[in-house]
Structure 1
Amino acid sequence: MLNVAMLSKWHVHADDYARQASENENISIKIVWDENEERGKKWAEKLDVPFEADLLKVLQNPEIDAVIVDTPTNLHKEIIILAAKHKKHVFTEKVLAFTVQDCDEIFSAIKENNVKLMVSLPRLTEDYYIFAQETIDKGLLGRLTSIRCRLAHNGAVPFEGNPTGWLPGHFFHKEECGGGSFIDLGAHPIYLTNRLAGPVKAVTARLQNTLGYEVDDNAVAVIEYESGALGTLETGFLSNGSPFQLELYGTEGTLLIEDHSIRVKSKQLGDGWIIPEQIPESLQSPMVQWVNNIVGNIEPSITDEDIRNLTLINQAASLSNEQKRRVVTTEITNIRQQA
């Protein structure tokens, strides 16, 4: 049994992770810490566990085996490294950190202290992603030439009594979040297309502040892959009813995914669209994979490379938007090497 501390309810997914932990027979939630004491006390009461205002006391507690981190993103590096130094396994919300250099420092601390890290990249475990990956691997699309992924919602659209929409107001604080829609919701298109299209050569991004927030609420990035393929990533907090879309185009075929609808066309499969009768089963969730890695030493499907490349694209996109230019990913690598 893993005794777990919940570190902050800042992120909107914190309740989801508490539920997943409560439903996992290998996890027992023992304590809550929050940088916002009032919020933390309420959450601890809801979870029926003690609240501890001193983070060090939580991490020094020998009965705590692991932590689930949902703090502001700008606290990730400090808290995760501190947790690792106290020999606590770490599950955390995306993104891991704002820079590739910070990611590498976190990875080093995790490795040095022989603990397990998992960042929640859940769409890499979904059945449609696995089907898309298998379609590419089987060569049904030929050479991949274009990929497009869109994920957007209306979380920042104001309505009566909610001037920032249904998202919490702190989701628009740049210091805490590092950005807006692209770094948060756009993470899913980023890590999905990273996996499907391969290494990225360059990024050109436009992160719009449409409604005047401190961070972007609408964003598009054009991605150039080392393979020669092009990618278009779209996200935003201003779209009502926008479906999730993942589109792959190649020299031999096309794969279109919209929410739960999948259809494929390939020269190798004959004429016309085919709706697959069966698709692969989803993999275990990131949290289950994390637990299995800790208790059974079973390697997770989500890797450090997935985690690091998510930050790489975000860092390049932020620089591209700031300087209004195309950013080659080796620029980010060079920043890391010079530091």
Structure 2
Amino acid sequence: MRVAYAMNSKSEIGICVIGAGRAGLIHAHHFRKNVPFARLVAVVDPSQEAAEKAIHELEINRYYTDYTQALDDQDIDAVVVVTPTIYHKEIVVAAARAGKHVLCEKPMAMNEQECDEMIAACESAGVTLQMAFMRRFDDSFIEAKRQIDSGAIGEVVLVKSLTRGPSKPMPWMYDLKKSNGPLAEVNSHDIDTLRWFAESEISEVYATGGNFRNREIRHEYPDFYDSVALTAKFSDGKQGSIDGALYVQYGYDSRVEVVGTEGVIFLGQTHEKSIVVAGRDHQLKRPFMNSWRSLFKEAYLAEDTDFIASILEGRNPRVTGYDGKMAVKVVEAGNRSIGSGSVVKLD
């Protein structure tokens, strides 16, 4: 049973962000200053140096290096889990049992079974479990979904989504047993976008991957891939396509194309600023998008704001644990396809 707070009895939600990395600090800054009815209470990071640096930047005075201590803090009503994926299940289940609401960053977990355990724990405790698929809160994505639902392009036939990141992978990402690879770390958003726009579940996938930019680790991590191409078939016959890459170096690239029977929708922008410079070399120059933090800045805030609203209003979040689970299911199937070189059918 869900726990519903009446606005007059619980007008402010105490937040703890678990994980003081780049994404964790984005959430923390929002809850510190910009999200109505939320108060940032503490941050958690196993590195005391990182935790101390975070609270100094956030101008708060409470941190923990052990998340279990934060779960005992009665000032904390909800947690934001922004740790490596391998720890998500353990933390979310413990948070639910402690009565804390949960906003969990993608990917949800390492496998479908872990997702089921997380969903069951939150349902049993009556707490909110929201997945952090921030693209569902982006104005352009929301408008695209509205246009699809209105029939502006007829019936959806194909959804194509790509995400390519400029950064070199963190060392733990090379081990697929800890990261599930770029399909999880990079393309979880793309998988969710396909499901959301197609309004259908993926029934089979075929994927190929290769390591083209991180060749120095090939011997130690022969299964690692920094580029992936996945083709999907939906249960109702629609088609899907995903393109993912790490360490492309030219910038952050996120685009979507939705093809219908009567039209097409293009989503995404490759430029970060509107300025265009023409010089003596007769070339036009325009800054390329450098980070997901720039492209989806407002979407993160909207996501965090809606998380608090769903708690206070006692309603289900707009992005559920089931959505997170289905993305993980496709990641698992995609990795099996890369390993086997064959089409993988999903149950």
User: Would you say same fold, with TM above 0.5?
Assistant: yes
Shorter-chain TM band: 0.7 to 0.9
Q: Any conservation in 1 of the 2:46–2:66 contact (CA below 8 Å)?
A: no
Q: Any conservation in 1 of the 2:17–2:27 contact (CA below 8 Å)?
A: no
Secondary structure in 2 matching 1:182: helix
Deviations 1:227-262 (A, max 9, x none): 21221101111332464321122222222234289x
1:111 is matched with which residue?
A: 123
- Matched AA of 2:25: D
Identity value in percent = 22
Task: Call closer, same or farther: CA 1:127–1:61 in 2, change over 3 Å.
Answer: closer
Distance (Å, rounded) in 2 between the aligned partners of 1:195 and 1:72: 25
Structure 2 residue 10 is matched with structure 1 residue 2: no
1:38 is matched with which residue?
A: 49
Question: Runs ≥4 in structure 1, deviation > 6 angstroms?
Answer: 281-284
Deviations 1:152-181 (A, max 9, x none): 12212xxxxxxxxxx5444444443232x2
Extract unaligned runs of 5+ from structure 1.
157-166, 262-280, 331-339
Q: Any conservation in 1 of the 2:48–2:65 contact (CA below 8 Å)?
A: yes
1:77 is matched with which residue?
A: 89
* 131, 134, 157: which one aligns with 2:143: 131
CA apart distance, 1:54: 3.4
Q: Any conservation in 2 of the 1:130–1:282 contact (CA below 8 Å)?
A: no
* 190, 200, 203: which one aligns with 2:202: 200
Name the Cα RMSD after superposition: 2.4
Task: Call closer, same or farther: CA 1:303–1:32 in 2, change over 3 Å.
Answer: closer
Structure 2 residue 264 is matched with structure 1 residue 254: yes
Task: Call closer, same or farther: CA 1:147–1:56 in 2, change over 3 Å.
Answer: closer
CA apart distance, 1:106: 0.4
Matches within 5 A, 1:10-159: 10=21, 12-23=22-33, 24-47=35-58, 48-156=60-168
CA apart distance, 1:139: 2.6
Matches within 5 A, 1:177-196: 177-179=179-181, 181-196=182-197
1:289 is matched with which residue?
A: 306
CA apart distance, 1:60: 1.6
Once the two structures are overlaid, the 10-residue window that deviates more, 57-66 or 188-197, is: 57-66
Structure 2 residue 334 is matched with structure 1 residue 317: yes
- TM-score, L = length of structure 2: 0.79
Distance (Å, rounded) in 2 between the aligned partners of 1:59 and 1:284: 24
Q: Any conservation in 1 of the 2:44–2:51 contact (CA below 8 Å)?
A: yes
- The structure showing larger relative contact order (alpha-carbon pairs under 8 Å, at least 6 residues apart) is 2
CA apart distance, 1:57: 2.2
Task: Call closer, same or farther: CA 1:219–1:255 in 2, change over 3 Å.
Answer: same
1:222 is matched with which residue?
A: 231
Distance (Å, rounded) in 2 between the aligned partners of 1:209 and 1:104: 32
- Matched AA of 2:262: E
Distance (Å, rounded) in 2 between the aligned partners of 1:195 and 1:186: 14
- Matched AA of 2:28: A
- Matched AA of 2:27: Y
- TM-score, L = length of structure 1: 0.81
Distance (Å, rounded) in 1 between the aligned partners of 2:231 and 2:327: 15
- Matched AA of 1:74: I
Q: Any conservation in 2 of the 1:223–1:231 contact (CA below 8 Å)?
A: yes
Distance (Å, rounded) in 2 between the aligned partners of 1:50 and 1:242: 34
- Matched AA of 2:240: G
Distance (Å, rounded) in 1 between the aligned partners of 2:36 and 2:206: 45
CA apart distance, 1:67: 1.2
- Matched AA of 2:209: L
Distance (Å, rounded) in 2 between the aligned partners of 1:130 and 1:66: 26
Matches within 5 A, 1:293-304: 293-304=310-321
Distance (Å, rounded) in 2 between the aligned partners of 1:53 and 1:257: 40
Q: Any conservation in 2 of the 1:202–1:327 contact (CA below 8 Å)?
A: yes
Task: Call closer, same or farther: CA 1:74–1:182 in 2, change over 3 Å.
Answer: same
Distance (Å, rounded) in 1 between the aligned partners of 2:329 and 2:90: 19
Task: Call closer, same or farther: CA 1:52–1:244 in 2, change over 3 Å.
Answer: closer
Q: Any conservation in 1 of the 2:25–2:54 contact (CA below 8 Å)?
A: no
Q: Any conservation in 1 of the 2:253–2:270 contact (CA below 8 Å)?
A: no
Distance (Å, rounded) in 2 between the aligned partners of 1:257 and 1:7: 32
* Length, aligned pairs only: 299
Deviations 1:281-313 (A, max 9, x none): 989722111101111224332233322211111
Q: Any conservation in 2 of the 1:191–1:310 contact (CA below 8 Å)?
A: yes
Distance (Å, rounded) in 1 between the aligned partners of 2:15 and 2:301: 20
Distance (Å, rounded) in 2 between the aligned partners of 1:17 and 1:72: 16
1:337 is matched with which residue?
A: none
Distance (Å, rounded) in 1 between the aligned partners of 2:143 and 2:42: 39
